[in-house]
Structure 1
């Protein structure tokens, strides 16, 4: 029986209702005649504190509140890909058809389109035994994504009837005989957003999520099924970095959550993604993307739900055996929503007013990432990688959200406003960033790229750290005090920074670099460094070495198209040797 009560207090998005003794924590409720959607977040006796996901202006005490008896859930089925949802999985394009450009309160629209027909091809037959997680058939959701219809978790039995043909998402396609009677299965299932979807086994993340971004793949890699954070001040390039990762990362499905972001940034995403051509398939990027838009002017409580909605959809595709990448932009706005709701509940504040449970809530979200074996009879392996942007006020990462995030994630891409002002993008600071996956990925790089990869990476990191120390000396006593060897190291570091780490997102060739090309670039820079060191030891002048014509060609190697890199690498390797030999001979003469 659904619990019914009356509103006794309204404080912004927080509504307190009495007479709700039969309701449960996290039940979805409908508030007032306008049927505003909300969720119970605290219970005291028969009083329920409800966070309302819509604007509460105009509400009065004494209005009715009705519990639906169900937790906040999402609909999982064909039609998710290519859709744009708000934070509680309402389809914004369908709402626009109902009420125009401005979102109206209390509008009820099903998350998945009920009128669309989907072609269902069964993969089981009558009499087959199935368990939760088994695939009973497939639906071609887009040209790229084959949607696998799975038996909901907890249902085990024998297939009594299975249909083939075109169906709506809510039509019955399969009947399973279980111990508790018959269960009808449609093309979609529901799942509560605050509960992680179960799996059979979690695996070690030992394969990289290749992104084509050199500073990420080479210096600070993320594993498939890993978690990463991108903290950075305003204007340092968090959103563009996430867009690049969404476009180029080797993931089958992208889930992009705009959590409390500016409306114009989300507009850019919504306009840009449908026009982008997916480099892996040649189709529109939207054919493998789910967008969740919860802009900063939308009700603050819905931000809290948006990250859970997004990660539940991502887990669903992970269970099908896909590699999924989730971008959350930004978790700071989500934490601000937690802080506001905590303040209205009059809870004891923690650091800077954030609730004491901020760290555990962040951990619950990030821990849902991973590389897993899904439930079911077949051994389907799926991965869910989570990349969260953090927007610390004033760029100060000592604030609570950044610190709580750093305790959880294993990759830290620290954006630097100084690099951004110098127009060095991506503005990831190589001295403060780190990746704890690098060692566990070494085996993969050795087997799939080259045994030289990890050695070259280690040398790059060492040269960049040495440069930072040498810069301090130069500030004190000038460049002339450095030895020829150290001056060469400074030149090599400049080459790494300007030619390798600096990458143009809007250049048609430089926007993505394959691992093979990245290795070639590392080798060219290091070969020049080694051979130049020999030349200097034989009497060559550092200035002359630094001004060789081949250095410009090494710098422009990143603009060489992928298919021409082999020939260009061989040619430049020979040029390095010949130009340095010429210089040595000239010095000897």
Structure 2
């Protein structure tokens, strides 16, 4: 126990009573309302508590108790489809606020049909599947907490408070409790090999992310970070989506809450919400809970990863999380570094993204949005995030202003995963050489675009003018994608390969005709078949991919005429 001696916003200083020994990062119950907090500092008979709820009305002298447990979340059947706040409390769809000191943490409700996969007397490994509970078409797998003999196991209807098995001396329930700050075991970690497919061509083809990888989406206000993350959540081929709204505007989270239950999952045909967990901590909620919301979301992801599922975590935005740390560290009197951020900023960012990974069973992929003030990518949060993520999708205000979406700047973006997943893509076609050709063409086009902006297109020699047109064709026909078009909103890997083959075919014919006949570039690029190439992304759907071969033949027929 202890008593409050100082209140500074979400930071409360507590005088510890004799004989009491609070531990770092253990939960504290603060004041008469029993607000949830966490011990973040202990010194000379005093503890500093970070309170995750609003502290208005707290008075000096009110009592504080220490739980002896770390901040944790209960995980079990039924958590999919739920909306949680940064403390793991269930938020109602009605939008009503949870009263301070109250709120119900998630806990499985009702009875479940448990189906055992092992028998009593068998020896099981730690993490081995004992059985599963099926709920709304999803299998929640119940895992063994230890390596030991199964003393008892039952099948049939069970309540959450009733053990379904006893392994060694441990009782096993359909739910488990996990501390949010402690990562799941990293045993059986493997090299990433399979892409997380998003249906967005500029990401999948040029700057891919692997299942078990990490990516950041930096961009200034209005560049489309939230829309891109929502698009990725809808179309990515992960088994489970965890969407974290950290410090974002309430209307954006409201849009997600309204849209996701209505969206049809492209992989299951059911509601997208049935494989999604939403963590909502909007900008008007307590600032300190932003930190816990990120760790909470990743803990939920690790729960499903341990079952063997691939999980994608969308964190929007980590900048608001870092700003919360800056405010709290300032109130605690910690020494600030650049732009007022705490010295621990780099290690805290690393602690998030390093929890991504691919394992022998399951994966966690983390995609975090970053909101640099004024779009300045040299600011600390963006710079440190860049160090710890394998893919960097830089959003460009100029592209967004010209209605070019996704507004990913191909010259400021990169991915370290292309080399790891190329074998997967090469099974579908000549991915490696197609990607290399496209990257080289874009790099040459960037150089020419700078000259065009300075001197105009007509200042270019004919051969460079042809390369510039090739660059523009790739941008318009491949990189630009309409999220609202029923065909263009999603491109399968096979369609992307075929589109790239068509574009390289056009490029080869352009250069061949120009080299052999010296025909003016404007005439070469203005053939009617090129308008078909520009429209192929919207006119050729996934059911009629053979039309790309017909388009290739038509291109060959048109340009063969120039050589006769």
TM range (shorter): over 0.9
Matched, 1:417 2:411: no
Q: Distance in 2 between matches of 1:481 and 1:31?
A: 71
Aligned position for 1:462: 440
Q: Deviations over 1:289-317 (max 9, x none)?
A: 11101101000010000000000110111
Decide whether the 8 Å contact of 1:484 with 1:536 is kept in 2. no
Offset of residue 325 of structure 1: 0.6
Offset of residue 118 of structure 1: 1.6
> Which of 125, 140, 146 matches 1:147?
140
Matched, 1:59 2:58: yes
Moved more, 419-428 or 490-499: 490-499
1:387-536 equivalence runs, <5 A: 387-446=367-426, 448-450=427-429, 452-536=430-514
Q: Deviations over 1:241-295 (max 9, x none)?
A: 1111111111111111001110000001111111111111111111111110110
Aligned position for 2:545: 565
SS in 2 for 1:428: coil
Offset of residue 584 of structure 1: 4.5
Aligned position for 1:333: 320
Q: Distance in 1 between matches of 2:456 and 2:236?
A: 43
> Which of 516, 529, 544 matches 1:550?
529
Q: Deviations over 1:120-170 (max 9, x none)?
A: 111121112233212111001321x21101122xx3332222122222322
Q: Distance in 1 between matches of 2:167 and 2:507?
A: 68
Decide whether the 8 Å contact of 2:144 with 2:167 is kept in 1. no
1:187-336 equivalence runs, <5 A: 187-336=174-323
Gaps of 5+ in 1: 374-380
Q: Deviations over 1:431-451 (max 9, x none)?
A: 1100111122222222x212x
Q: Distance in 2 between matches of 1:573 and 1:157?
A: 62
Matched, 1:16 2:13: yes
Aligned position for 1:110: 105
Moved more, 201-210 or 160-169: 160-169
Aligned position for 1:156: 147
Aligned position for 1:378: none
Offset of residue 400 of structure 1: 0.4
Moved more, 476-485 or 511-520: 476-485
Decide whether the 8 Å contact of 2:75 with 2:303 is kept in 1. yes
Offset of residue 108 of structure 1: 3.8
> Which of 337, 350, 356 matches 1:350?
337
SS in 2 for 1:520: helix
Offset of residue 476 of structure 1: 4.2
Aligned position for 1:169: 160
Gaps of 5+ in 2: none
Q: Deviations over 1:412-458 (max 9, x none)?
A: 00000000000000000001100111122222222x212x2111111
Offset of residue 51 of structure 1: 0.8
Aligned position for 1:132: 126
Decide whether the 8 Å contact of 1:540 with 1:584 is kept in 2. no
Q: Distance in 1 between matches of 2:16 and 2:521?
A: 83
Aligned position for 1:28: 27
Matched, 1:367 2:354: yes
Decide whether the 8 Å contact of 1:81 with 1:141 is kept in 2. no
Q: Distance in 1 between matches of 2:177 and 2:324?
A: 26
Offset of residue 171 of structure 1: 1.9
Decide whether the 8 Å contact of 1:78 with 1:169 is kept in 2. no
Q: Deviations over 1:367-416 (max 9, x none)?
A: 0000113xxxxxxx211110000000111011000001011111100000
Decide whether the 8 Å contact of 1:488 with 1:529 is kept in 2. no
> TM-score, normalised to structure 1's length?
0.93
SS in 1 for 2:164: strand
Q: Distance in 1 between matches of 2:29 and 2:452?
A: 67
Offset of residue 581 of structure 1: 2.6
Q: Distance in 1 between matches of 2:227 and 2:451?
A: 35
Q: Distance in 1 between matches of 2:457 and 2:246?
A: 47
Offset of residue 529 of structure 1: 1.2
Q: Distance in 2 between matches of 1:156 and 1:439?
A: 37
> TM-score, normalised to structure 2's length?
0.97
Decide whether the 8 Å contact of 1:207 with 1:441 is kept in 2. yes
1:77-92 equivalence runs, <5 A: 77-92=76-91
SS in 2 for 1:470: helix
SS in 2 for 1:275: coil
Decide whether the 8 Å contact of 1:233 with 1:415 is kept in 2. yes
SS in 2 for 1:191: strand
Q: Report the aligned-residue RMSD.
A: 1.4
> Which of 546, 551, 560 matches 1:581?
560
